[in-house]
A and B are shown apart, each in its own frame.
Chain A
Amino acid sequence: MSLIVAEKLVKTYSSGDLEVKAIRGVDFVIEPASFVSFIGPSGSGKSTLLNMIGCLDPPTEGQLKVVGQDVTGLSRQDAARFRGEHIGFVFQDFNLIPVLTVFENVEYPLQMVQSWPKDERMKRVQEMLDAVGMGDQGHKYPSQISGGQKQRVAVARALVTNAKLVLADEPTANLDRETATMVIELMKKMRDEFKTTFVFSTHDPRIVDNVEITFELEDGILKRHEMAKGGAHG
C-alpha cells in the first residue's frame, strides 16, 4: 500500500477578492520508506504541498490519502490527532521547546501527545537520543547545544512516536554545509533503521543529491519526477 496518494490536488488561497492558486492539480504517489524531496523556485508551492500532506492545511480540491486514510475532510481536532499519531515534523528553525531539556523535548510527544507509560517512555527517548548521537546530552537545554545538534534532537523528536512519515520543510536552511550533510545522512540512516518515509521541501542541492526521488514543482504544477537510484515505482 502506498504511504501517500495525491490525486488532482488543488490548493487555492483567497484573501478578499484575490485568489492565489498555490497548487493547481497535482498527482503523485509516495511509497513507504522512501526519501523524497520537492524542489522548485520560491513560491512554487512546496510548503503548501507539505502542509497539506502534514494535515496542517486542508486541500481545496482533489484527493489526498496519507497512511491509507483520506485526510481531505479532517476537522481541526481530528487533524491534530492524526498528526500526533502518524506524522513527525522537522522544522527549518528546529523549534525545540526552550524550557524543556533535550531529553524532555524528545519525550514531549510521548507524554503530551500520546500517553506512554513512564518506563517505556524513558527507554524509548534514550534509545532515540542514542540513535541520533545525542545520548549523553539529554540534560542540556536547547540554548546549550549547536544548531546541528538541535536538528538531531528534532529528528529524534519526530521519530520517537514511531511515525511512519516525517515531513521536513527546508530542514537544512539554517545549517552550515558540513552540519547539513551530517543531518541529511542521519535522516537517511534513520530511514534505513526505522523504515520511516522522509519528505522534504528544499532548495538545498545537498539534499537533492542525496534523495532518491525528486519532484519538481513550478507554479503549483508538478514538472518533473526523477528517481536517482532506481526506486520501487515509476
Chain B
Amino acid sequence: MGNIFKLAARNLMRYKRRTMLTSMLITLGVVAVLLFVSISGSFKSLMIGQITDSMLGHIQIHKKGYLASIDSLPLNRNLTEQQVKKVIEALAGEPDVEAYSMRIRLGAMFSNFTETTNVRLNAVVPKDEEATAPLLPNRIIEGEKDGLLNPGEILIPELIAKGMKVKVGDGIVLVANNKDGSVNGQTFMVRGILEGISGPGGRDGMIHIEDAKSLLRINGVEVSEIAIRLNDIDRLDSVFASLQNKLGGLKNQQGQPVFEIHTWESISPFFNIAEMIDLMTFFIKIMLVAIVLVSIMNVMIMAVFERINEIGTISAIGTLPGKILGLFVVEGFLMGVLGTALGTVISLVTIAIMNVTQISFDFGRQTGLLLSPTIGVADVVTIVAIVIAIAVLASLQPAWKASKMDPITALKHV
C-alpha cells in the first residue's frame, strides 16, 4: 500500500503546477464553505438570539385564535385562570424550560395632556419578563435599566417618545377600554424609552401587569400570552412537541381546541431569513462538490490519457488491474487531502483572526453587534469527509478505465 502512495505522490509531483492548481481550487472551495458556514452560522444564531431574547422568547402559548387577531389585541381572547393553571402545570414538567413570562397585551390611548395617540402595550411581571427575554433591558435607550419597571411606571416606545415629545420622568395618562366596553384612565410616570426592533411586538410599550389589571378592571387572573424561554434552543423541537402533546389536544365544551402553541419560528418573519441562510449554505456545499468533482475528474482523465503507455507497461509486466485502479484513485485522494488540509488550516486561522479582530455589524436597528464566528468539529469533519470522498469518487471512473486497458493497445499508443 505504501508503495502505491509513493508512486501516486511521485506522479502528482511530475506535474507540480497542475497538481497545485487543482489542489488550490479545492482549497479555495473548502475555505469558502467553511468560512460561510462559520460566519452565517454565527450570524444566524446571533440573529435568532436577538429576536428571541429581546422580545419573543422561544415558545409562546395563546388562546386558540389569538395570533390570528393579534392586530386588534383582543381582550376577549385572553387565557382564563383555569387555563393558565393548566399551562403552568405543563411547564413545571419540562426540565428544559428556563423561565416563562405571563403577559397581558392591550391597546390604549396615550396622552401627554396636550395630544393623544394610540399605543400598544405589553403588561408584564418585570422579574419574569427579564428572565424570559434577557436582552430586553438592552433595549432601554434612556432611563434606568435595572429592575425594568415598577407599578405606576411605563416604558414608552421610541417613536411615541419622539412624536409626542415625552421625556423620561414625564407624567402621562393611559386610557383603555376593557372588554365590556367601559373606559378607564390611569396616570403613569415615564420610566424609560424602549428601542424599537423589527418583528412582532417590537414597537410596543411596557407597563406592570398589576397596572394593566387595574386599568382594565380585571379581577383574578387573565393572560394574553405566555412567553417561554428554554435553557437550550436546540431543545426547541422536543419541548414544543411535548407541550403540543400536553396542551394542544385539550378541548373546551364546544369541542374546540383551547390553546395554540407556537415556536419563535412561526411567529417571527426572521425565520425565513434563517432558512434562507441554511439554503444558501446547502447550495454553496453543492458548488464545492461540483468544483471538486469536475477539477479532480478533469485532472485524472488527463493523467490516465498521458500515461497510457505506462499503464500498458505495468500491466504487461503483471501489475493486477486492482492495483492500477488503486494507483489512480490514490492520486485523486491525495490531491483531495492536500487541498482540504490546506483549506481547513486557512479557514481555521481566518476564523481565529476574525475573532481576535472583533468584526462588528448592524442588524436591524441594532448596531455594533460583534460577530464571533465559530465552527463545530462536526461541520469541519463533515466537509473534509465530503470533499475527500468526492475526490475519490471523481478519480474512480478514470482509474477504472486505466485498470481495464488492454496492455497491447496501451503499449501501441503513441
Contacts and interface: CB of A to CB of B under 8 A. Distances in A.
Interface of A: 51, 54, 56-57, 76-77, 80-85, 87-89, 91, 93, 95, 97-100, 108-109, 111-113, 157-158
B52 interface: no
A113 B14 contact: no
Contacts of B10: 99-100
B318 A99 contact: no
Interface of B: 3-4, 7, 10-11, 13-14, 309-310, 312-321, 323, 407-408, 411
Given A84-B320, A93-B309, 14 more contacts: A51-B408, A56-B407, A57-B408, A76-B321, A80-B319, A83-B317, A83-B318, A84-B317, A89-B317, A91-B316, A95-B310, A97-B7, A97-B314, A109-B318
B55 to A, nearest CB: 65
B7 A84 contact: no
A88 B316 CA distance: 9
Contacts of B319: 80, 84, 112-113
11 contacts: A56-B408, A80-B315, A83-B318, A84-B317, A85-B318, A97-B313, A98-B14, A99-B7, A109-B318, A111-B3, A112-B314
Nearest to B14: A99
Contacts of A158: 317
A155 to B, nearest CB: 13
Contact of A80 (B7, B13, B14, B318): B318
A91 B313 CA distance: 9
A109 B14 CA distance: 21
Nearest to B404: A76
A171 to B, nearest CB: 14
Contacts of A54: 316
Residues of B contacting A: mostly: helix
A56 B409 CA distance: 10
Contacts of A80: 315, 318-321
B14 A89 contact: no
Contacts of B318: 80-85, 87, 109, 113
A81 B310 contact: no
A111 B323 CA distance: 12
Contacts of A82: 318
Nearest to B11: A99
B313 A95 contact: yes
Contacts of B316: 54, 56, 83, 89, 91
A198 to B, nearest CB: 16
Contacts of B11: 99
A57 B410 CA distance: 13
Contacts of B411: 91, 95
A77 B317 contact: no
A231 B322 CA distance: 42
Contacts of A56: 316, 407-408
Of A56, A81, A87, A158, most buried by chain B (CB within 10 Å of CB) is: A56
Contacts of B323: 112
Nearest to A96: B313
A80 to B, nearest CB: 5
A87 B316 CA distance: 9
Contacts of A85: 318
Nearest to A85: B318
Contact of B310 (A77, A97, A157): A97
A109 B3 CA distance: 12
B313 A81 contact: no
A95 B408 contact: no
